Amino acid sequence: MMTMGLFSFFTDEELLLKRAIAGYPSKARQDLKRRLLEQLFVGNEEYKIESKPGRPLPEEAFQSFLEKGGEEDSVRRQSVRLRFKKHFDQVLADTYRAGGADNLRRLDNYLSKRFLTGVKNKRIRVKRLKGFEDAFSDAFVALIRILGSGGYKGTANLDTLFQSILDNCCRRQEEREKALHHIPAQPWKGTEEEFRVAVSEAAWLKIKGHLNNIDEAMLARDLELLREENPKCYQLLWMHAVQGFTHADIAERTDSTAAAVKVRAGRCREKLSALANTLKLKNDD
pLDDT tens profile 19-38: 888 877 678 788 889 999 99
Residues forming beta bridges with residue 233, ordered by sequence position: none
CA-to-CA separations, 73 to 24, 58, 61, in angstroms, rounded? 23, 22, 17
Quick check: 48 and 56 in contact, CB under 8 A? yes
Q: Which residues, including other chains, have CB under 8 Å from residue 206's CB and lie 6 or more apart?
A: 241, 242
End-to-end CA distance of the chain: 80
Question: What is this structure's pTM?
Answer: 0.60
Distance CA 203, CA 201 (A): 5
Please give the share of the chain, as a percent, with pLDDT higher than 70.
67
Residue 37: alpha-carbon gap to chain centroid: 22
What's the pLDDT tens digit per position in 81-124? 889 999 999 999 999 998 888 888 889 889 988 998 898 888 88
Of 107-111, 150-154, 256-260, 275-279, the poorest mean pLDDT is in 275-279
Distance CA 81, CA 128 (A): 29
**Residue 149 carries which side chain, given as an amino acid letter?**
S
Q: Which residues, including other chains, have CB under 8 Å from residue 154's CB and lie 6 or more apart?
A: 86, 89, 90, 93
What's the pLDDT tens digit per position in 195-228? 544 443 334 444 555 444 445 555 566 666 667 7
Top mean pLDDT of 83-97, 224-238, 240-254 is at 83-97
pLDDT at 6: 39
Which of the pair, 62 or 174, is modelled with greater confidence?
A: 62
Distance CA 274, CA 229 (A): 13
